[in-house]
């Protein structure tokens, strides 16, 4: 019997479900949640942490690659 090969999930910025840079849309696809929920979570943490979440968002914008133009990863 052969064992099934594990699938590797990677975090990408969304090209289709984006408001600014696609970070929340990509995270929502990665976590299998609604993108609106990801955006609400981001806004709540941005207010609670006093804006350091926004700095993290900017860093993620630079670090996380964008998904391919056809939407596949």
Mean pLDDT in consecutive groups of 10 residues from the start of the chain, 73 residues: 78 83 88 91 88 86 84 53
Nearest residue to 21 via CA among 62, 56, 69? 62
Main-chain phi, psi angles of 49, to 5 degrees: -85, 0
Query: How many CB atoms neighbour CB 61 within 10 A?
Result: 14
pLDDT recorded at residue 18: 79
pTM tops 0.85, yes or no: no
pLDDT recorded at residue 71: 54
For residues 8-47, b (16+ Cβ closer than 10 Å) or e, as one string?
eeebbbbeebeeebbbbbbbbbbeeeebeebbebbeeebe
């Amino acid at each position: 019997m052969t064992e099934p090969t594990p699938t590797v999930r990677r975090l990408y910025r969304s090209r289709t479900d984006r408001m600014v840079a696609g970070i929340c849309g990509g995270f929502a696809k990665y976590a299998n949640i609604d993108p609106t929920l990801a955006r609400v979570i981001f806004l709540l943490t941005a207010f609670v942490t006093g804006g350091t979440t926004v700095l993290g968002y900017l860093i993620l914008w630079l670090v996380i690659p964008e998904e391919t133009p056809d939407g596949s990863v």
